[in-house]
Structure 1
Amino acid sequence: MLKKILIPVVFSLVLFLHVIKLDEIPMGFFVDETSIGNNAYLIAKYGFDENKLPYPLFFKAFGEYKNPLYIYVNAVVFKVLGFSEFYLRSTSFLFFAIFIIVFYFLIKRIFPDNYYARVYALISAGTLPWFFTVSRISFEVISQLTVIAFLLLYIYRTYEEDFPSSPYPNSKKLLLPTATGFFLGLSVYSYTSSRLLAFLMALTVVLIYRARRYLLRNICFILSFMTSLIPYAIFIKRHPNALTVRFKETTYLYDPALSYLGKALLFVKNYISYFTPQYLLIKGDTNYRMGIGNFGLLYAAVFGLFIFWIYLAVRKRHVLENKFVKLILAFLIISPVAGAMTKECPQSLRGILIGLFSLILSAYAFDELKNYKARKLITTTVFITLIAQASLFVFVYFFVYPPKTIEAFIGYGFKYAFKKGIDYNPKKLNLVNDEFFTYIRFYKYVLEKEGGYYNPALYNKTNGTCYLYYDKTEKADRTLPEVCKGIGYIDDGMTGSRFRVRCCQNSE
């Protein structure tokens, strides 16, 4: 009876934790989130982006180009469910929900006879800090995780499951590798690091499954992958430098002050930083947009089993005889390559696939526990440790972490200040800090849907000018130089927020 309900209960609990207070925690929306929301809203309503381009392949914003997969799925969500702060972040929830389902079916195929290995993998993936934080914010990287989960499932079905013996091609021999190539190509449109990793992964698949019996599958896989890249290739030809602008800003590879040897050593240092116990187990990502701070990205149980798998791979030859295991190990090795080329290392978004591949290898180690006499004791210890740390993480995330997100996400209180400024019915409503213009656009759409926005130009206005500003000084008097010029004014803002609105009480 317990076995019948345990997995559905875990699924339900995981999804509940990912959707509860989605628009409230983290507190405030980061500018990148609202930029994605703006473009998705315009695509859903009008069919063009913020630059008036109809259905673009990549979205130009903040001087760079955002990836299309997340934005178009977000546009579908807005079209079907409506536009709101909640539905903006619910796109990430949707991607995560699909990920956890696909991941579970992958694990079920790998370990069809080990029920508790599936439970372990489900609890770990469902609450892992590396995945949890990004599944509750509107960042593109969560779409990469989902697409790669599909990729792994179809690689397994294509290369590890037997086909009916026949000298002639059949639909299964053609469709499965074609789907595999499609998902690898789709990853290029999900998150920036996949523009490099996808090609390395394609090469890895062909090298590991290079036996003659895989020839037809490899041909279908590569043809499908290359076909899916045609729009990408056309975009690059038309916009040669567009997709490298952000990379040139974040990488050290173009730094003339560094020698080739210096760059190589820095790459090695950055690469290693992604695998240090301090990063994986203790500190995690110190940026509060990407982690809760001073909490590892992997649970101790997951990390411990991953180390145990390495031990098994060294000591027992049969462990690496499994081609799919070799593939996961190879993917793990190449996954930090793109991130290691940037100045900011380690960075959890660029290394998120490390979490996925480490988790799968740890599940293989969990499965090996069945061969030990003390398996019940060890398995029980693993589950107790895992559930205890997962419970601690969830508690910290919902009850300790939120106030720390106000500074990190910046946008907390903007909507309140914006609406207060509108309600004052001013002659003008000016944004002092131009870098936050995307908030104006986003919350204009939000308030329109909520019925709390109107165009001041349509009304008779007798009040003075209002100024929306971000108070970086935290001065008690909230002074703004040259604003209201000594005349009376009101100044308002949500408690805890640095966004304020100052309205002059008479016309200037």
Structure 2
Amino acid sequence: MGKDFQKKLKNFWPFIFRTSDTIKLMNSRKILLFILAVAALLRLWRINEVPVSLFGDELDVGYHAYSILKTGKDYSGNPWPIHFQSLAEWRTPLYLYSAVPTVAVFGISPLGVRLPAIVFGILGVWALYLLIKEISQDERLALLTSAVLAFSPWHIQYSRAAFEVTLLLFLLLLGLYFFFKSLKNPRILWLSMAILAFTPWVYSTAKLFTPILLVFLLFLYKKDLLSFPKKYLLYGLFALLAVGGPIAYSTLLGGGTQRFGYISIFTDPTTEPEVGFGRLIDARVRGEMGEGLTPTLFDRLVHNKFTFWGANVIKNYFESFSTEFLFIKGDLNLRHSIGLGEFYKIESIALILGLIFLATRFKDKKIKFFLLFWILAGAVPSAITREGGKHATRLILILPPLIFLISYGINETLNTLKGKARLLFVGSYLALFLLGFYSYQHKYWVHYPWESERWWHAGFKEAIQTIKQIDKDYDRVIISTANEPPWIFFAGWYEYPPDKWQSRFPIGNDVELAGFGKVSHIDKFYFGSSQDGLYGLGKVIDNKTLYLAVAKEIGANLIMEPTRTPPELKLIKAIAYPSGEPAFYLFSGTLAQ
């Protein structure tokens, strides 16, 4: 009975039990296509429903793409920019340009804005397969690695929202594949350099990581590269400069450094107060009192901006590899993670095994050093940012080598174990993996929509689209700023004409509105918050004014108790979160102008 079961299991799960030599005789393309199909299903399924809405940055992508489509300019009025100027920052361009055709077909919608991330997520699974096959020459390991990435919660999360990082990983993996391929065929070195040079066009962490990685590869494979015909080296250098030069110029001399300046540890406004507080405590311990105390030399050596920055960088760096981040909670931002860890818990065992086997069994020392360097250097860009220790978006650079270690740990364990021991390992691992996968899927589809509804700015779509349907009957529309800055939600969900938006960008608080103070406006649309609450609101808006109020401004649940609406107000619509909690109320006054 046991032998029959083992035989059936071997036939059912061929790429685990068969050797790499045998699998080469099989049609491994079918297995890869199956993995890619599963990856596509996990990333596409109900994409218009979960996550529950487009959050602000996603709408920013959609409206920029819409603006390019309609006017050839970003929504701030810059023609075909290298960095897109948004309301709060300058954004790298490649993902935004990739969204133009999908927004053209599907509009500013979850599918239209997220489809590029989905496609690049699927292509990333394929690119990892190519890379691992090239550096290991092991078909089973390559297939296993791609399968682990296909099921990765970390990768799925970012493939199901309009984050740039799935495109970043795809280009990084593909560029590295062609680099290692070029060691045997120097004529394609230029292709590798061109693809890798595109990574800083996608996400800002690559502006630091990619140059560091290229320098390391140059050092590691110096002899191989110097043996190339000079013309191929020149082609590679030209491709690197031609593609990377414009983004480097824009970053250094344009607006590309603005975002880093905002999130960097080195511009943290708490630095000076923290340093000063540390010196004050030292003085108090010595018994000194009063104001204007002069710190001693020792105080200055211990408490200064460099020690403060260094301590935070080290803290961030080690948090990136903590079990709490990787396997227990993950990123606490519910747009980045659902709160179960970035990996399945069973993968912690495979990761440890992978590290051990990499140190003891992996024969190619250069590849070994490359993988370790990738992990160690990949966490650096995030470590120098505020709260970068558990920021899954900035840390996604370390995902591919960690996926490889997990897969390598499984693969080498299978190579080590024989007979019943191997069967026991496969059965136990699969059972625990499926349990983890079920727990992840259950939380993602059942609990996560409610838990994350505010993070994804649910309710704005219904509210703004309702306004669009009825605003022709009103002379003035006021949209509350009490919760989130509403400009991009209005522009995106309303699909406001980009040429008109560009003519008013940036929108400043330039109008005094009774009951609302200084507000910004474009045409008849005003952005500000009521200063009078539910029972004073009817005194400042008339029957030709619409006001979209945030629920917390009102202080009453008008979904449950609509009769609490004062007679001076008409409750046109109450908009709820998926959980049923009130999100917005749309009012007009009842009094004539």
Partner of 1:418: 464
Partner of 1:165: none
Q: CA deviation at 1:28?
A: 1.9
Deviations 1:235-256 (A, max 9, x none): 24652xx222222222222334
Partner of 1:311: 356
Given that 1:422 and 1:456 are in contact with CA atoms closer than 8 Å, whether structure 2 keeps it comes out as: no
Q: Secondary structure at the match of 2:204?
A: coil
* Cα distance change on mapping 1:474 and 1:95 into 2, 3 Å: farther
Q: 1:234-245 alignment to 2 at 5 Å?
A: 234-236=249-251, 238-239=253-254, 242-245=255-258
Work out whether 1:300 is the aligned partner of 2:313: no
Q: 1:262-411 alignment to 2 at 5 Å?
A: 262-293=308-339, 295-314=340-359, 316=360, 319=362, 321-344=364-387, 345-369=389-413, 370-373=415-418, 374-410=421-457
Q: Secondary structure at the match of 1:300?
A: coil
Q: Secondary structure at the match of 1:29?
A: coil
Q: Secondary structure at the match of 1:386?
A: helix
Structure 2: which amino acid aligns with 1:233?
A
Q: CA deviation at 1:70?
A: 0.4
* Cα distance change on mapping 1:490 and 1:114 into 2, 3 Å: same
Q: Secondary structure at the match of 2:548?
A: strand
Q: Secondary structure at the match of 2:587?
A: strand
Deviations 1:393-430 (A, max 9, x none): 122211221111211112x1222222333444222112
Partner of 1:46: 71
Q: Secondary structure at the match of 1:493?
A: strand
Q: CA deviation at 1:197?
A: 0.5
Given that 2:182 and 2:189 are in contact with CA atoms closer than 8 Å, whether structure 1 keeps it comes out as: yes
Deviations 1:329-351 (A, max 9, x none): 11111011011111213211010
Partner of 1:472: 552
Q: CA deviation at 1:276?
A: 0.8
Task: Give the Cα separation in 1 of the matches to 2:67 and 2:428.
Answer: 51
Q: Secondary structure at the match of 1:499?
A: strand
Q: CA deviation at 1:472?
A: 3.1
Could you tell me the percent identity over the aligned residues?
20
Partner of 1:503: 588
Q: Give ranges in structure 1 of 5+ residues lacking alignment.
A: 163-171, 449-454
Given that 1:320 and 1:326 are in contact with CA atoms closer than 8 Å, whether structure 2 keeps it comes out as: no
Given that 1:414 and 1:439 are in contact with CA atoms closer than 8 Å, whether structure 2 keeps it comes out as: yes
* Cα distance change on mapping 1:409 and 1:80 into 2, 3 Å: closer
Task: Give the Cα separation in 2 of the matches to 1:22 and 1:430.
Answer: 31
Select the residue among 186, 206, 220 that pairs with 1:173. 186
Structure 2: which amino acid aligns with 1:401?
Y
* Cα distance change on mapping 1:505 and 1:259 into 2, 3 Å: same
Task: Give the Cα separation in 1 of the matches to 2:392 and 2:245.
Answer: 30
Q: CA deviation at 1:127?
A: 1.9
Partner of 2:38: 13
* Cα distance change on mapping 1:112 and 1:384 into 2, 3 Å: farther
* Cα distance change on mapping 1:114 and 1:250 into 2, 3 Å: same
Q: CA deviation at 1:91?
A: 1.8
Select the residue among 489, 493, 496 that pairs with 1:439. 489
Task: Give the Cα separation in 2 of the matches to 1:299 and 1:465.
Answer: 52
Structure 2: which amino acid aligns with 1:91?
P
RMSD (CA atoms)? 2.9
Q: CA deviation at 1:219?
A: 5.5
Given that 1:417 and 1:494 are in contact with CA atoms closer than 8 Å, whether structure 2 keeps it comes out as: yes
Work out whether 1:157 is the aligned partner of 2:200: no
Q: 1:248-263 alignment to 2 at 5 Å?
A: 248-254=261-267, 255-256=271-272, 257=275, 258-263=304-309
Q: Which moved more, 1:439-448 or 1:389-398?
A: 439-448
Select the residue among 489, 497, 500 that pairs with 2:570. 489
Work out whether 1:94 is the aligned partner of 2:139: no
Given that 1:302 and 1:359 are in contact with CA atoms closer than 8 Å, whether structure 2 keeps it comes out as: no
Partner of 2:205: 193
Q: CA deviation at 1:11?
A: 2.6
* Cα distance change on mapping 1:227 and 1:6 into 2, 3 Å: closer
Query: When the two structures are superposed, what TM-score results if normalisation uses the length of structure 2?
Result: 0.74
Q: CA deviation at 1:151?
A: 2.0
Greater Rg over alpha carbons, structure: 2
Given that 2:567 and 2:590 are in contact with CA atoms closer than 8 Å, whether structure 1 keeps it comes out as: no
Q: CA deviation at 1:230?
A: 1.6
Work out whether 1:230 is the aligned partner of 2:245: yes
Work out whether 1:427 is the aligned partner of 2:475: yes
Task: Give the Cα separation in 2 of the matches to 1:447 and 1:291.
Answer: 34
Structure 1: which amino acid aligns with 2:266?
L
Given that 2:59 and 2:108 are in contact with CA atoms closer than 8 Å, whether structure 1 keeps it comes out as: no
Q: Secondary structure at the match of 1:500?
A: strand
Work out whether 1:148 is the aligned partner of 2:172: yes
Task: Give the Cα separation in 1 of the matches to 2:81 and 2:35.
Answer: 39
Structure 1: which amino acid aligns with 2:571?
I
Structure 1: which amino acid aligns with 2:372?
L
Task: Give the Cα separation in 2 of the matches to 1:409 and 1:133.
Answer: 13
Q: CA deviation at 1:156?
A: 2.6
Task: Give the Cα separation in 2 of the matches to 1:301 and 1:119.
Answer: 19
Query: When the two structures are superposed, what TM-score results if normalisation uses the length of structure 1?
Result: 0.85
Task: Give the Cα separation in 2 of the matches to 1:447 and 1:463.
Answer: 26
* Cα distance change on mapping 1:477 and 1:359 into 2, 3 Å: closer
Q: Secondary structure at the match of 1:490?
A: strand
Task: Give the Cα separation in 2 of the matches to 1:215 and 1:471.
Answer: 68
Task: Give the Cα separation in 2 of the matches to 1:322 and 1:468.
Answer: 62
Q: CA deviation at 1:225?
A: 2.0
Partner of 1:134: 158
Partner of 1:169: none
Partner of 2:507: none
Task: Give the Cα separation in 2 of the matches to 1:224 and 1:209.
Answer: 19
* Cα distance change on mapping 1:111 and 1:211 into 2, 3 Å: closer
Deviations 1:142-184 (A, max 9, x none): 221221121222223123xx3xxxxxxxxx422x211111121
Given that 2:176 and 2:196 are in contact with CA atoms closer than 8 Å, whether structure 1 keeps it comes out as: no
Q: CA deviation at 1:23?
A: 1.9
Length, aligned pairs only: 475
Task: Give the Cα separation in 2 of the matches to 1:53 and 1:59.
Answer: 8
Structure 2: which amino acid aligns with 1:392?
S
* Cα distance change on mapping 1:84 and 1:310 into 2, 3 Å: closer
Deviations 1:279-337 (A, max 9, x none): 111111111110001x11012343322211222344x2x52634223212111110110
Between the two structures, name the one with larger relative contact order (CA 8 Å, sep ≥ 6).
Answer: 1
* Cα distance change on mapping 1:499 and 1:221 into 2, 3 Å: farther
Q: Which runs of 4 or more aligned residues in structure 1 lie more than 6 Å from their structure 2 counterparts after TM superposition?
A: none
Task: Give the Cα separation in 1 of the matches to 2:376 and 2:66.
Answer: 38
Partner of 2:531: none
Partner of 1:204: 216
* Cα distance change on mapping 1:332 and 1:296 into 2, 3 Å: same
